[in-house]
Amino acid sequence: MRSLFLLGPSLLIVLAGCQSLQSSDNFLGMITPYRVEVVQGNVVTKEQAELIKPGMSRAQVRDILGSPLLTDPFHADRWDYVFTIRRQGAEPQRRSVVALFDGETLKSIDTGGELPAEREFVASIDTFKTKRNAPPLALTDDQVKALPVPAKPPAPEAAASAVAPTRTYPPLEAR
């Protein structure tokens, strides 16, 4: 009977210790557990949503937004595009876009608020912000002017006079 009284508090202490280990980001201040990156659904950006107009066909909407994550047989005129991401070092994100159809044509689209532009979305999930220093992808006007002028192509009559050498190939099948 006495061992039962000791077992109860001991069990509570052990369970409390397990809970504190699960809630911390590291174990004993040294080991950080690996967290799985979970990405689900379709990313719908501001640029994609701007291309969607009422009156478009289902195929046109699918071409722009991709296949919907959820299609309900009981609500055949509703497509749900849901996107969630949990990435270590970035804020978790969840967005939902609903496309409503009237038969085969789009009636309306509900973005659930402001969607990020493609560059904003990439910046929000980029966990290497301080480690990467990417060069710009566009040239300035001065850089374009400094480029060498390309050589002129040969005259068409000179290209026509050049005859390619004839080649002979062995037969494909033995005779």
Residues in contact with 97: Cβ distance below 8 Å, sequence separation at least 6, in sequence order: 44, 49, 65, 80, 81, 82, 109, 110, 111, 112, 115
| Residue 163 pLDDT exceeds 90 | no
Predicted pLDDT at 80: 92
Task: Quote the pTM value.
Answer: 0.54
Average pLDDT over residues 5-27: 57
Average pLDDT over residues 150-156: 79
Predicted pLDDT at 5: 63
Q: Which of the pair, 82 or 8, is modelled with greater confidence?
A: 82
**CB neighbours (10 Å) of residue 39?**
12
Domain ranges of the chain: 34-126
Chain centroid offset of residue 31 CA? 30
φ, ψ for residue 162 (rounded to 5)? -75, 125
- Tell me which CATH code domain 34-126 carries: 3.30.1450
**CB neighbours (10 Å) of residue 14?**
10
Interval 114-143: pLDDT, tens: 898 988 888 887 766 555 566 778 888 999
Interval 59-94: pLDDT, tens: 999 999 999 888 888 888 999 999 888 877 777 889
| Residue 104 pLDDT exceeds 80 | yes
Predicted pLDDT at 105: 94
